[in-house]
Amino acid sequence: MTATATPTAAPAKAAATQRPGDRWFSGAALSAGTMILVTLAAVAVFLVIQSIPGMTATGDDATILKTDFWEYVGPLAFGTVWAAALALLIAIPLSIAVALFISHYAPRRLAQGLGYIVDLLAAVPSVVFGIWGIAVLAPAALPIYTWMTQHLNWIPLFDGNPSGRNILTAAIVLAVMVLPIITAICREIFLQTPTLHEEAALALGATRWEMIRMAVLPFARGGIVSASMLGLGRALGETMAVAMVLSASGGITWRLLTAQNPNTIPANIAQTFPEAYGLNINVLIATGLILFVVTFAVNAVARWIVNRRKEFSGAN
C-alpha cells in the first residue's frame, strides 16, 4: 500500500506592513504634488476670468489700447520671445562651455571654486543686473554698437542709429541671468556620463574633445534641452532687469542696436500697472495670460523633446 502525497499549499506571503513614517511621507508628498496642480489651476482660472473683459475691450473702453487687444499684445509678445531667444542664443553655448570646463578640464580645486561662483550668480537680484546693464554694460557696448552700425549696416539687424539701451543689451543681461541655471544643470549631467563610455572612447585613441563629442554630449542632449528650456522660462518672465535696461518704443522691429525697440510683456506690466485702472487692469492681466500660455507651451515642447529623446535612446 503506497501513500499518496497530498499537495500542500504554499505559505501565503506575509503582507508588507507600512510604517507610520512611510504613510506620513507618502501623504505629505501626495499633498505637495496636489497643491502644485491646484495652485496652477487656480492661477489659470483667475487669469482667464480676469482676461475676458480685457480681450474683448477696444480703444474706447481701455485707454492703453489704440484699437483692439490683439494689436496691443502682438508687439509685446514679439518682444518677449525675441529678447528671450537672443538671450538663449548667447547663453547656451557659453553655459555648455563653462560646464564642460568645470566637469572635464579644470583641476578639482578650481572646478569647485568655479562651481560655487556660478551657483552664487543665480542668487543675485535681478535689479542688480539691471543696474549693471545701465551703468556698465550699455556705456561699454556703445562704441561696439557704433562700429557695427557703420561697418555692418548692410545687415538689417544692425541698421539704424545705435543706442546702448537696446534689445541686444537687454538680451545680454538676460543671458548673464540665465547662465547659472543652464550651467549648473549641464554640469551635473556631464558628471553623470558613464565612466566606461568615456574610458572606452579614450582607449580607442580619441582625444579629450573627441571623447566629449562622442560620449558626453550625446548622453547629455536631453538634459541640455531641459536646462535650456528652464533658462528660457526665466528669460521669458524676467521683469525688472529688462524694464530698467530696455528703452522700449513699441512696435515690431528686428533691429538690435537702435533705441526703437519692442517692449516685453513682464516689463510692460511692471511699468503700466501702477497707473492702470478699470479695464486697463484687465488688459494687462490678459497680456499676463498670453505670457502664461507661451511659457506653458515652451515647457510642454521641452518635455516632449526630452521624452522623445529617452524613447529613441531606449529603442536603440
Three-class secondary structure of residue 257 per DSSP: coil
- Percentage with pLDDT > 70 across the chain: 91
Question: Nearest 5°: CA angle at 86, between 85 and 87?
Answer: 90
Task: Please tell me the predicted confidence (pLDDT) of residue 309.
Answer: 63
CA atoms of 212 and 263, how far apart (whole Å): 40
DSSP assignment letter at 7: P
CA atoms of 273 and 166, how far apart (whole Å): 23
188-204: average pLDDT: 88
Task: Please tell me the predicted confidence (pLDDT) of residue 314.
Answer: 55
Residue 35 has pLDDT above 90, yes or no: yes
Residue 15 has pLDDT above 50, yes or no: no
CA atoms of 224 and 242, how far apart (whole Å): 25
- The grid coordinates listed for 107 are 583641476
Q: What is the pTM of this model?
A: 0.84
Q: Are 271 and 243 in contact (CB under 8 A)?
A: yes
Task: Please tell me the predicted confidence (pLDDT) of residue 316.
Answer: 54
pLDDT band per the 50, 70, 90 thresholds, residue 310: low
- The grid coordinates listed for 156 are 538689417
Amino acid occupying residue 303: R
Three-class secondary structure of residue 162 per DSSP: coil
CA atoms of 313 and 310, how far apart (whole Å): 5
Higher pLDDT, 248 or 101: 101
